[in-house]
Structure 1
Amino acid sequence: MTTRTWPRRLMTGLYWFVALQFALGAITKYWPGETFAGPPYSTQFIEWGYPSWMRFVIGTLEGLAAILLMIPSRRTRFLGATTLVFVLTGAVTTHIINHDVLAESWAAPTYLIISGVLALVDWPADWRDLLRTATPSAARAAHSTE
């Protein structure tokens, strides 16, 4: 195993860890009853000042981001991490506005930083790369550089 393999495996592990955390978070947003973290999200969203149905929107975005992070492509990982940055910016803002104690809301700022770093790691050289479809030769070239 070469020394270049370890950083790549660590990054892949980090992507999968974050993806699994948000996949679990997405499932709990849809869960009707209490979660292992406390009251149902339907109740929590109302207490935070949002309609109860907003948990489905956030859960869907978290689930989509989790799927995008697991696909080994810089483009999809960038889109997944960027989606999480937007969702988590809203979560951190919500916790600040509601004066939630840090002991109850440490996860949102922590994952916001991690997602921001992941988005920066996968930042495209040209924003138009996000819109281009990969041709077989371009896909091979992109795969060989990753």
Structure 2
Amino acid sequence: MRTLAWRKGLAWALVAFFVLGGVMNIVAPPSVADEYMRWGYPYWFNYVTGALELASAWLLSRAATRAAGAVLGMVVMTAALITLFIHSDWSHAVLPALVMAALSIILAAQFKQLKTSVTASGTSH
């Protein structure tokens, strides 16, 4: 039961992270819009990023789609990390790296759960 509790807690923390990030990217206060401009992205790219983050949050919120949400979140965070590395913005790379680690844990837990359920269903016949 404890294992399930930390998995759900971590998943919901990631949901909150991606909802907040998605909203911030879509609303794009001047500080966010300035960063996208500084990085050389088109003026509309923050909307794409925000939509992908919200999609990741939605997928992570449902147990049946949690693995897909983790993969999508990893794609978004990988793009963020590449951008930050290209621009030598090391201090801002810490949070996306931690989120990537958390998403990896969620994904591993989902695969472990899938393997366990497949193994259990194979032995019941």
TM bucket (normalised to shorter chain) is 0.7 to 0.9
Counterpart residue number, 2:6: 10
Letter in 2 for 1:65: S
Q: How does 1:1-146 map to 2 (within 5 A)?
A: 5-34=1-30, 39=31, 41-73=32-64, 76-102=65-91, 104-123=92-111
Listed as ranges, the gaps of 5+ residues in structure 2 are 116-120
Q: TM-score, normalised by structure 2?
A: 0.83
Alignment partners' CA distance in 2, 1:46 and 1:110: 25
- % same residue: 25
Alignment partners' CA distance in 1, 2:71 and 2:13: 16
Q: CA deviation at 1:114?
A: 1.3
Alignment partners' CA distance in 2, 1:117 and 1:65: 15
Alignment partners' CA distance in 1, 2:75 and 2:108: 14
Alignment partners' CA distance in 1, 2:28 and 2:39: 17
Alpha-carbon displacement from aligned partner over 1:36-57 (angstroms, at most 9, x marks no partner): xxx1x22211111211211111
User: Contact between 2:28 and 2:46, CA under 8 Å: does it hold in 1?
Assistant: no
More helix by share: 2
SS in 1 for 2:98: helix
SS in 1 for 2:63: coil
Runs of 4+ residues over 4 Å off in structure 1: none
- The structure-2 alpha-carbon separation of the partners of 1:32 and 1:62, relative to structure 1 and needing over 3 Å to count, comes to closer
Alignment partners' CA distance in 2, 1:32 and 1:90: 18
More displaced stretch, 116-125 vs 10-19: 116-125
Of the two structures, which has the highest relative contact order with CA contacts closer than 8 Å and spacing of 6 or more?
A: 2
Report how many aligned residue pairs link the two structures. Answer: 114
Q: CA deviation at 1:117?
A: 2.2
Let me know the Cα RMSD of the aligned residues: 1.6
More displaced stretch, 111-120 vs 22-31: 111-120
